[in-house]
């Protein structure tokens, strides 16, 4: 500290300068730890419902697969690769977002589930399935591992919604059905029931053909658990291994802001009955939710409407992800 310029010592004092430098050094260490060891992410969209809900905050283990240079995405050492069914964070591949969104101080990162591994032959089969007396479609995923001659499948089974749809903050997802899909060694929830034909929208329509499509070496196929509303490998192709940053590990906090379901009187009613659930009349809606379609700024909307209606999902804190 004696070597600091005299004018700095005169203004702040030696002890103050020493404390400030120590503080910034600690902040630097924390940011380096976050950058390369244990990152914190929030979930802004519903593509991974119901596994990850809008408003979830999760820890991501960034050392699970590789060691990266702090404050960069440069890989120093790779010692493992994602497994089938892992939930991972990754840099969006070309075509998934605009170049501007991938760069800058707050670059866009995706969270999806690994559906296919390098060398897999993937085949998505539309299975006509009946739920509650109505026909629906399940996109059953079949895969043939590299070197194999037979397809295996991620089998699925019906699941009742129970209270799992009560706090999704997504009035579109509740219109569909809940399933459990099986992966090697575990199973997880999936929202399905999409009847719209999306084959032509897929970047490689071969995945919907009888022969399927082959994932290139060093690439992975990603999909969201909310199959009805997920921008994923079905639409923008496969993800290079270099883009994969870490594995989602734990939900450490969760807030239901009710931004997308504020018009409905009861979360339980919405979860069970979809858009036929009771809504507030226009006057009640404005008093409880504000004029969502207006140009009201984010700060004012949050203070007067979002915070009063928000709900902390205490039951999700500490949830280990698989």
Residue with tokens 């906090």: 253
Residue with tokens 């036929």: 276
At residue 189, what are phi and psi to the nearest 5 degrees?
-75, 150
- Residue 74 pLDDT exceeds 60: yes
What percentage of the chain has pLDDT greater than the value 70? 84
Residue at which a domain ends, from 257, 276, 293? 257
Least confident of 24-33, 131-140, 158-167: 24-33
248 and 272 assigned to the same domain: no
Q: What is the pTM assigned to this prediction? A: 0.86
The CA distance from 53 to 66, in Å, is: 27
- For residues 200 and 270, the model is more confident at 270
Domain hosting 45: range is 12-127+142-147+199-257
Residues in contact with 42: Cβ distance below 8 Å, sequence separation at least 6, in sequence order:
55, 56, 57, 58
pLDDT of residue 1: 45
73 and 116 assigned to the same domain: yes
pLDDT of residue 300: 81
Q: Catalytic residue numbers?
A: 47, 112
Residue at which a domain ends, from 241, 257, 273? 257
Least confident of 201-215, 254-268, 272-286: 201-215
- Residue 196 pLDDT exceeds 80: no
Q: Over the stretch 258-269, which tens digit does the pLDDT of each residue have?
A: 999 999 999 999
- For residues 67 and 224, the model is more confident at 224
122 and 265 assigned to the same domain: no
The CA distance from 19 to 36, in Å, is: 26
51 and 103 assigned to the same domain: yes
Domain count, the chain: 2
pLDDT of residue 216: 96
pLDDT of residue 202: 59
């Amino acid at each position: 500290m004696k070597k600091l310029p005299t004018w700095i010592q005169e203004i702040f004092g030696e002890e103050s300068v020493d404390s400030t430098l120590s503080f910034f050094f600690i902040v630097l260490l924390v940011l380096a730890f976050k950058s390369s060891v244990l990152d914190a992410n929030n979930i802004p969209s519903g593509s991974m419902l119901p596994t990850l809900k809008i408003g979830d905050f999760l820890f991501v283990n960034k050392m699970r697969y590789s060691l990266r240079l702090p404050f960069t995405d440069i890989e120093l050492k790779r010692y493992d690769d994602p497994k089938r069914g892992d939930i991972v964070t990754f840099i969006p591949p070309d075509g998934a977002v605009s170049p501007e969104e991938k760069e800058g101080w707050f670059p866009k990162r995706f969270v999806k589930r690994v559906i296919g591994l390098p060398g897999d032959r993937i085949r998505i089969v539309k299975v006509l399935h009946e739920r509650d007396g109505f026909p629906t479609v399940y996109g059953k995923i079949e895969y043939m591992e590299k070197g194999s001659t037979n397809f295996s499948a991620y089998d699925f089974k019906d699941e009742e919604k129970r209270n799992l749809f009560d706090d999704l903050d997504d009035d579109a997802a509740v219109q569909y059905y809940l399933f459990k899909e099986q992966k090697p060694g575990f199973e997880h929830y999936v929202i399905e029931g999409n009847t719209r034909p999306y084959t032509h929208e897929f970047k490689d329509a071969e995945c919907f053909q009888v022969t399927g499509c082959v994932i290139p070496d060093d690439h992975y196929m990603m999909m969201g658990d909310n199959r009805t509303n997920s921008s994923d490998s079905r639409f923008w192709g496969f993800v290079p291994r270099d883009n994969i940053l870490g594995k989602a590990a734990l939900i450490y906090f969760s807030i239901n802001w009710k931004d997308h379901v504020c018009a409905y009187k009861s979360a339980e009613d919405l979860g069970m009955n979809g858009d036929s659930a009771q809504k507030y009349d226009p006057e009640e809606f404005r008093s409880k939710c504000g004029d969502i379609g207006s140009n009201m700024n984010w700060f004012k909307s949050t203070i007067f409407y979002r915070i009063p209606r928000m709900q902390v999902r205490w039951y999700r804190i500490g949830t280990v992800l698989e």
